Amino acid sequence: MQSNQTFADLFRAGGVSRRDFLKFCSLTSVYLGLSPSMVPSIVEAMEKKVRTPVIWLHGLECTCCSESFIRSSHPTIEDLLFNMISLDYDDVLSATAGHQLEDVRRKTMKDYKGKYILAVEGNVSTKDDGVYCMVGGDSFLNTIKETAADAAAIIAWGACASFGCVQNAQPNPSGAAPISDIIKDKPIVKVPGCPPISEVMTGVVTHFHTFGTLPELDRFGRPKAFYNTRIHDKCYRRAFFEAGMFVRSFDDEATRKGWCLYKMGCKGPTTYNSCSKIQWNGGTSFPIGSGHPCIGCSEPNFWDKGPFYTRLAEVPFLGSDSNADKIGVIAVGAAAAGAAAHAAVTAVKKAKAGSEDNDKA
Amino acid sequence: MGRIIEEIYVWRLPVRLYHWINALCTVALFVTGLYIAAPLFNPPLGEAVWYKGMSWWRYLHFASAFIFVANFLFRMYWAVFGGDKYGRFGGFRPWSPAWWGKPFLEQVESYLFLRSEEPNYVGHNPVAALAHFLFIFCGSSFMIFSGLAMYGENNPGGFNSVWFGWMIPLFGSSYTLHWAHHLMAWIFPIYLIMHLYAVFRHDVVDRTSVTSSIVTGYKHKVEEEPV
Ligand code: HEM
Ligand code: HEM
Ligand code: SF4
Ligand code: SF4
């Protein structure tokens, strides 16, 4: 693998015309939310900069992020981008395996010390020294610490690496922890979603390659360009939400008419992601477009905020039958009962005191 | 009936106004909030463009929320700068061990029927002051901060999202913040029950006309039990 080629070299080698290449650059700038005046910098970076070396590790995960990444169905141009990150190590996609591959990882770490991007898919088992995730003969806990040490930055792909996902849902038997719990001294970009949208993934890489810096992040460490607004804010069913027109069961008239899924437990109002903007599979559709409520897959601990089809979550430590309203009703009932009992005692006391007074008189 | 021996002007107009605006807003916020969480009414079939089913409830929630916030800030201002003897929570010193001492214990004992004579306060008694602090001051502050944080989600980078948005990571996620806002909403009906009970009971037991005091401003001292 020649690792000193630029993106533009590879585009040319892949038979992509200059025109298509420029199109790609402007598309990318749109996805990244950059102004048109930035397009020349993207073009320049793509043409002149040596490809950014990427080490892609897999921990406790299901590989849905990789699946999303490679399935990007936009013009073949995106496949090319996939070929063009200098993906020096990826234990799932590499042809080699075993010691040979581990040597490649170490070599990249040495040759590009402080320059490579560490992309992590999946999270880290921390219980019992991390034995619940062994890759390449070592625990993933050790591997990630070793590989992160010389990285320029870390990209945490997906809900797993960003927040934990299903592995660290209660009761979290393997002590699964998101990357930010393990690595504290490196810049981390969180790209949550189960999986994240492929254009979001390529957009983050392109930003780093172009500007040499991480994209602007929000309070959770997610790129603002893609995670600044909620599904709800850009949802095409929002008009039905505002009108109070809701689907009430999956086989009613409203379902056929495509009304808002709020009452079916839609988590769109509390979920930050780009599904309602960029959509999935090259803009084909997204879950709400297909009539399914958003389950909030890009939000922290979304598995523990179920059930997916009701709006108000259960209170986990109080069993599966409780929610905020039930607690509230019980507490109000208790307050009323307490007041009534107190009133009764007061009345009895008063009556007693009154009769004593009368006796004295 | 005992003769009125003293009339005291306790609640000045700003306090009474605050009280009733606050009470109305709280009820409105509770009702509209629960509706937002679980919209009940079915609109007739038709085009979304003609209906405002959800927008109205949300609009009412936010409108009363902003009145509620302004009113709350006004009460804080009045407590600090109003120069109002009974309206400044002057006696409330929970940081000092002395405050938790005799007067507080006496009031608790009285509520628990452990003493026969009732301590009597013209302003707030210490237990009432503590309840106001926990339910009204802390409770309202929480509802305001979490509410404004959620309100700011509409407009990322705007005023509310910049100044209150930190509530979201603090509570783990937007969903958990909604949940906490929803759960905390229930403290208001609980408070209302305890509050009304306490007011009516004091009126019956001490006969200081406390119930009407929040309308007229006056409390009364009456003669001891007539024979
Ligand atoms: C949600 C409804 C209500 C809330 C949140 C509320 C809250 C409060 C607060 C915060 C105070 C302290 C006033 C201050 O010093 O600023 C107060 C006092 C008072 N409220 Fe309410 N109130 C509510 C409803 C009512 C109602 C319906 C009544 C009437 C029957 C009432 C009667 C009184 C009285 C008599 C006082 C003076 C008590 C004292 O001597 O300490 N309140 N209330
Ligand atoms: C006494 C005070 C308040 C009560 C009892 C109350 C109650 C509620 C309830 C029960 C909900 C539904 C939560 C859910 O399940 O999603 C809610 C939502 C909300 N409240 Fe409040 N609230 C109060 C004050 C405020 C304030 C001061 C604001 C500030 C603007 C505010 C803003 C909001 C917002 C933005 C929502 C979310 C609406 C949506 O998701 O469409 N609330 N409130
Ligand atoms: S379907 Fe979900 S995201 Fe869309 S408007 Fe309704 S609640 Fe919001
Ligand atoms: S609509 Fe919601 S649950 Fe579905 S992919 Fe997007 S963020 Fe995840």
pLDDT per position as a tens digit, B57-77: 999 999 999 999 999 999 999
Q: What is the pLDDT of residues B150-192, one digit of tens each?
A: 999 999 989 999 999 999 999 999 999 999 999 999 999 999 9
Average pLDDT over residues A24-29: 80
For residue B69, the ligand 2 atom closest to its alpha carbon is 27
Look up residue B134 and give its amino acid: L
CB contact under 8 A, B169 and A242: no
Domain count, chain B: 1
* pLDDT value at residue A47: 73
Q: Token digits for A335?
A: 């307050």
Distance, CA of B111 to CA of A349 (rounded, Å): 12
CB B14 within 8 A of CB B214: no
Phi/psi at A97 (nearest 5 deg)? -150, 175
Distance, CA of A173 to CA of B26 (rounded, Å): 44
CB contact under 8 A, B193 and A339: yes
- My answer on whether omega of the bond before A171 falls inside 30° of 0, hence cis, is yes
Q: Kindly state the DSSP code that residue A285 receives in the 8-state scheme.
A: B
Report whether pLDDT(A3) > 70: no
* pLDDT value at residue A307: 84
Which residue among B41, B173, B197 places its CB closest to the CB of A300?
Answer: B173
CB contact under 8 A, B48 and A332: no
Coil, helix or strand at residue A117: strand
Distance, CA of B173 to CA of B135 (rounded, Å): 24
Average pLDDT over residues A39-54: 77
Q: What is the pLDDT of residues B112-133, one digit of tens each?
A: 877 777 677 777 788 888 888 9
Report whether pLDDT(A356) > 70: no
Measured between alpha carbons, how far apart are the two ends of chain A, in Å? 110
* pLDDT value at residue B184: 94
Distances A352 to A348, A359, B74, B114 between C-alpha atoms, Å: 6, 11, 45, 15
* pLDDT value at residue B109: 80
Average pLDDT over residues A330-350: 87
Contacts of residue B38, Cβ cutoff 8 Å, sequence gap at least 6 = A263, A311, A312
Report whether pLDDT(A350) > 60: yes
A230 Cβ under 8 Å from any chain B Cβ:
yes
Distances B101 to A42, A51, A173, A294, B127 between C-alpha atoms, Å: 70, 72, 49, 54, 12
Burial state string for A60-74 with b = 16 or more CB within 10 A and e = fewer than 16: bbbebbbebbeebeb
Q: Could you please report the per-residue DSSP string of B189-226?
A: HHHHHHHHHHHHHHHHHH---HHHHHHH-EEEEE-S--
Asked if residue B143 is part of any domain, the answer here is yes
Average pLDDT over residues A18-46: 79
Contacts of residue A356, Cβ cutoff 8 Å, sequence gap at least 6 = none
CA distance A194 to chain B (A): 16
Distance, CA of B90 to CA of B80 (rounded, Å): 9
CB contact under 8 A, B157 and A228: yes
Q: What is the dihedral of CA A32, A285, B155, B54, to 10 degrees?
A: 180
Q: Nearest ligand to the C-alpha of residue B201? A: 1
Q: Which of A58-72, A292-306, B81-95 has the lowest mean pLDDT?
A: B81-95
Phi/psi at A123 (nearest 5 deg)? -120, -170
Residue whose token pair is 């969903």? B175
Asked if residue B46 is part of any domain, the answer here is no
* pLDDT value at residue B227: 40
Q: Which of A196-205, A278-287, A290-299, B60-69 has the lowest mean pLDDT?
A: A196-205
Ligand 3 neighbours, Cβ below 6 Å, are: A 231-232, 235, 237-238, 241, 260-262, 266, 268-269, 288, 294
* Of the candidates A79, A68, A225, the residue with the CA atom closest to the CA atom of residue A157: A68
CB B125 within 8 A of CB B119: yes
Contacts of residue B132, Cβ cutoff 8 Å, sequence gap at least 6 = B89, B124
* pLDDT value at residue A133: 92
Average pLDDT over all residues of chain B: 87
* pLDDT value at residue A77: 41
* pLDDT value at residue B180: 93
Average pLDDT over residues A250-263: 92
**Ligand 1 pocket check for B213: Cβ under 6 Å:** yes
User: B88: pLDDT confidence band, cut at 50, 70 and 90?
Assistant: confident
Average pLDDT over residues A110-137: 90
Average pLDDT over all residues of chain A: 85
- Pick among 1.10.40.50, 3.40.50.880, 3.30.70.890, 4.10.480.10: CATH of A231-311: 4.10.480.10
Contact list in B for residue A325 (CB cut-off 8 A) is 34, 37, 182, 186
- Domain A51-227 falls in which CATH fold? Rossmann fold (3.40.50)
Helical segments of A112-191, H only = 140-148, 158-162, 179-182
* pLDDT value at residue A76: 41
* pLDDT value at residue A319: 66
* pLDDT value at residue A317: 65
* Domain, as residue range, for B112: 4-40+54-222
Q: Where are the domains of chain A?
A: 1-50, 51-227, 231-311, 328-360
Q: Residue of the nearest CA to atom 11 in ligand 2?
A: B33
Strands A138-139 and A86-90: unpaired
Report whether pLDDT(A75) > 70: no
Average pLDDT over residues B31-48: 85
User: A70: pLDDT confidence band, cut at 50, 70 and 90?
Assistant: confident
Task: Extract long-range pairs of A206-214: CB within 8 Å, 24+ residues apart.
Answer: A206/A28, A206/A32, A206/A42, A206/A81, A207/A32, A208/A52, A208/A117, A208/A153, A209/A7, A209/A45, A209/A46, A209/A49, A209/A51, A209/A52, A210/A41, A210/A42, A210/A45, A210/A46, A210/A49, A211/A41, A211/A45, A214/A153, A214/A187, A214/A189
Average pLDDT over residues A33-57: 79
The verdict on ipTM greater than 0.90 is no
* pLDDT value at residue A20: 84
Q: What is the pLDDT of residues A160-215, one digit of tens each?
A: 999 999 999 988 999 999 999 999 999 999 999 999 998 888 788 778 877 878 89
Strands A134-135 and A138-139: antiparallel
A267 Cβ under 8 Å from any chain B Cβ:
yes
B160: domain CATH number is 1.20.950.20
CB contact under 8 A, B183 and A327: yes
- My answer on whether omega of the bond before A300 falls inside 30° of 0, hence cis, is no
Phi/psi at A121 (nearest 5 deg)? -110, 125
Average pLDDT over residues A120-143: 91
**pTM given for the model:** 0.87
Phi/psi at A48 (nearest 5 deg)? -105, -30
Q: Which of A18-27, A85-94, A172-181, A239-248 has the lowest mean pLDDT?
A: A85-94
Coil, helix or strand at residue A188: strand
Average pLDDT over residues A215-226: 93
Percent of chain B with pLDDT over 70: 96
Burial class (CB in 10 A: 0-12, 13-18, 19+), B89: middle
Distances B16 to A109, A139, B213, B215, B218 between C-alpha atoms, Å: 71, 67, 9, 7, 11
Q: C-alpha angle A262/A266/A269, rounded to 5°?
A: 85
CB B217 within 8 A of CB B18: no
